[in-house]
Amino acid sequence: MARTPIIVGNWKMHCDHLAAIQLVQQLSYRLDPKDYDTSELVVAPPFTALRSIQTLIQGDDLPLGLGAQNVFWESEGAFTGEVSPAMLAALHVAYVICGHSERRAMFGEDNQDVGRKVRAVLAHGMRPILCVGETLEQREAGQANDVVVRQLNGGLEGVQAAQMGDVVIAYEPVWAIGTGRTALPEDADEMCGIIRGHVGDVYDAAIAGDLRVQYGGSVKPANIASLMDCAHVDGALVGGASLDPDDFATICRWHRL
């Protein structure tokens, strides 16, 4: 089965709900049906903008997917400040980014937490984007593969084979995020291939063959085409460049470059 590429804009902590509406409108003016046919296109605004963007997507019938940047694993309860998977599902959120390196580094999420989030997202009928990736120190110490495999094992713990079609993996080397330093396409391809191979070992070859693996880390209009050329790269998780409607639209239109 051919894998449909998936391009996701991770807005991080940018855009209140008004700015978010503007950004999606500007983006939608720049995209046409061919773009949506070629790749699945998703925006992941902050929590406070989800409802506004959901309404805009529905009202204007935009073929754009809605993503969230984080979630807690419990359905409800005394968890001050947290947002549950049920709440996101009620907003028609389709994708939830789990275990982004900023959450791991700044908010103490470990592989077990990330696994709980992935399972909760799947249990609520949404699709997790499981982020994995090594730091520069780990890469230089030759530990990149081990780190990524550990993150995969933790993040996918308890995920059944039948659920794997809903899982997206994002390989985001920490040293490439927000630094302007993109991984070389061959390095991105190699690690995305290792991820696919590991999923093949844990599940089976058919599941690995269908798995979508994104690259993330300083994806820009200038480098998207060479990344998308890689056999194992099925899309991009885009931070900074997703805040500029021209840049993000160009990235979404990679097939025309």
Distances (CA, A) of 165 to 23, 119, 191, 205, 207: 30, 13, 20, 13, 7
Closest residue to ligand PGA using C-beta atoms: 239
End-to-end C-alpha distance for the chain, whole angstroms: 25
Q: Helix/strand/coil (H, E, C) string of the chain?
A: CCCCCEEEEECCCCCCHHHHHHHHHHHHHHCCHHHHHHCEEEEECCHHHHHHHHHHHHHCCCCCEEEECCCCCCCCCCCCCCCCHHHHHHCCCCEEEECCHHHHHHCCCCHHHHHHHHHHHHHCCCEEEEEECCCHHHHHCCCHHHHHHHHHHHHCCCCCHHHHHHCEEEECCHHHCCCCCCCCHHHHHHHHHHHHHHHHHHCCHHHHHHCEEEEECCCCCCCHHHHHCCCCCCEEEECHHHHCHHHHHHHHCHHHC
What binding mask, one character per residue, do residues 211-250 give for ligand PGA by CB under 6 A, x or -? -----xxxx-----------------xxxxx---------
* Closest approach of ligand PGA to the CB of residue 120, in Å: 21
Task: Give catalytic residue positions.
Answer: 100, 172
* Closest approach of ligand PGA to the CB of residue 33, in Å: 26
39 binds ligand PGA (CB under 6 A): no
Residue among 122 and 183 whose Cβ is closer to ligand PGA: 183
Residue among 70 and 218 whose Cβ is closer to ligand PGA: 218
Residue among 10 and 163 whose Cβ is closer to ligand PGA: 10
Q: Do residues 242 and 9 touch, judged by C-beta distance below 8 A?
A: yes
The stretch near ligand PGA (CB under 6 A) out of 25-33, 77-85, 114-122, 172-180 is: 172-180
* Closest approach of ligand PGA to the CB of residue 77, in Å: 29
* Closest approach of ligand PGA to the CB of residue 159, in Å: 21
- Which of 152, 177, 207, 208: binder of ligand PGA (CB under 6 A)? 177
194 binds ligand PGA (CB under 6 A): no
128 binds ligand PGA (CB under 6 A): no
Residue among 96 and 177 whose Cβ is closer to ligand PGA: 177
The stretch near ligand PGA (CB under 6 A) out of 26-34, 52-60, 171-179, 221-229 is: 171-179
- Which of 35, 40, 113, 172: binder of ligand PGA (CB under 6 A)? 172
| Interacting residue ranges for ligand PGA, rule: CB under 6 A | 10, 172, 177-178, 216-219, 237-241
